Each structure stands twice: as C-alpha cells, then as structure tokens.
A and B are shown apart, each in its own frame.
Chain A
Amino acid sequence: EAGVAQSPRYKIIEKRQSVAFWCNPISGHATLYWYQQILGQGPKLLIQFQNNGVVDDSQLPKDRFSAERLKGVDSTLKIQPAKLEDSAVYLCASSPEMGRPRGANVLTFGAGSRLTVL
C-alpha cells in the first residue's frame, strides 16, 4: 500500500513569510496527525484529526499555525507569519482507526517537510 505522502520535502523562507505543507494519508485512515520535530528532539504533536474533525490541538500555536483536513482525507498545515523557532521537520502521520494509537492502530509517518526560517 502507498505510504503517507508529504510535500514539499524542503522549504526555505524568511521570517514573517508564510508557508503551507500538504499531507495525503494512507487511503482509508481515519486519523491524521501533524508533528513538529525540532533538530535533536523527538516529535511533538501539533494537531490530531479524526476524519475531518479536530481531536487535539492543545499544542498548536494558534496565533500563527492553522490546519485543516477537508473531506476527511488530505490535510494542509499553514504557518503565517513564520518565526525563526519554527525551523523544524513537520511530520504527518495517519492511523487506521479512531482512538488509541496502539496495536493494529499504529501510526505510519511520512518522510516529513523540512522548514528553514532565515
């Protein structure tokens, strides 16, 4: 089966500019996650969707970050305006079912989008 697709793979912008990342999860997966991975750290959850509804966005900096999952399939993550500390890899992941990410409901990650803010 095809994996989680993300684009672009790399993006370089100047601070205060905007950027958008796109994710196409594995077909049929109900749950979609966006993680931020700063260099040398573990992934941190930004937002979790179940179908097209938001389950958890408690760690999303809502003054500058926004995300949507139209029709419960593809998702976009936008940053506007970007700050230097937003430099990171943005990982998208999906899992088959709603609920706990365990057992058969494991997360499959995409390769990520690396953002550099100058």
Chain B
Amino acid sequence: GENVEQHPSTLSVQEGDSAVIKCTYSDSASNYFPWYKQELGKGPQLIIDIRSNVGEKKDQRIAVTLNKTAKHFSLHITETQPEDSAVYFCAEEGAQKLVFGQGTRLTINP
C-alpha cells in the first residue's frame, strides 16, 4: 500500500533563511504530489503541487522538486518569514485518494 515518510518532524530556522522538508514515497505508480500547510486551529491548505512529468515547480518563495527514480520529493521555502510558521504535510496520490506524511512543524525565529 501507499506510504509516505516525511522528515524532519520539527524544523527551526532563522527568519530570512531557507527551509527544506523531504518526503519519500513507496508507490512507484504515484504521479501527483501536493504539499499542504496547516496553521493552528485550521484545516490543511494546498500550497503547491507537482506531477511526475515535471522535476521542479516554483511559486514565488516556495518550490518543490521531485526525483521519481529515488521516489522522493522536497519542499523548499526561501527567505522565510514569521507567517511561514505552521505544520507542513506532503502527500502522494494513490488509488484516487491522498496519503499524507506525518507532518513537519516549522518554526521561524525572529
């Protein structure tokens, strides 16, 4: 079955620095990989996604890279700001449903 491993579980960076979160998946048939941001007391919100026919996708300060051979994908946040503090989840699409990683709590220190 599908399984997504996400690391690290917690990440603390200085404001302005970059943050990287990595995920590894097991289902070689998966070809859609979204990232969700969850703020305290709210539901997860999609921030960026990537399909398997693309190696990298950028949207302003966030980017996602995908290595299908190694079955891992990463979220990159540059020039971090206090409002980036949240829990981030990667996910893979398997059998028409999303399977989520365990989450990374990102803290931006002023």
Chain A residues with CB under 8 Å of chain B are 4, 33, 40-45, 48, 55-56, 91, 93, 99-102, 106-107, 109-112
State the main secondary structure of chain B at its contact with A. strand
Do A42 and B96 touch across chains, with their CB atoms under 8 A apart? no
Distance of B73 from chain A, by nearest CB (Å): 14
B89: chain A residues within 8 A (beta carbon): 42-43
Give Cα distance in the complex from A112 to B98, angstroms: 17
At the interface, yes or no: B100 with Cβ under 8 Å from chain A?
yes
Do B41 and A111 touch across chains, with their CB atoms under 8 A apart? yes
B81: chain A residues within 8 A (beta carbon): none
Known: A91-B43, A109-B45, A110-B43. 4 other contacts (CB 8 A): A40-B102, A42-B4, A101-B93, A107-B46
Query: Given the known A-B contacts A42-B101, A48-B97, are A106 and B44 also in contact in the complex, defined by CB atoms under 8 Å?
Result: no
Distance of B43 from chain A, by nearest CB (Å): 3
A41: chain B residues within 8 A (beta carbon): 102-103
Query: Given the known A-B contacts A101-B93, A111-B41, are A43 and B100 also in contact in the complex, defined by CB atoms under 8 Å?
Result: yes
Distance of A43 from chain B, by nearest CB (Å): 5
Total B residues in contact with A, Cβ cutoff 8 Å: 24
Do B93 and A102 touch across chains, with their CB atoms under 8 A apart? yes
Q: Please, what's the 1-or-0 string for B1-34, where 1 marks a CB less than 8 Å from any CB in chain A?
A: 0001010000000000000000000000000101
Distance of B101 from chain A, by nearest CB (Å): 5
Residue in chain B with minimal CB distance to A48: B97
Do A107 and B98 touch across chains, with their CB atoms under 8 A apart? yes
B99: chain A residues within 8 A (beta carbon): 45
Give Cα distance in the complex from A43 to B102, angstroms: 8
Query: Given the known A-B contacts A102-B32, A102-B93, are A42 and B100 also in contact in the complex, defined by CB atoms under 8 Å?
Result: yes
Give Cα distance in the complex from A99 to B97, angstroms: 9
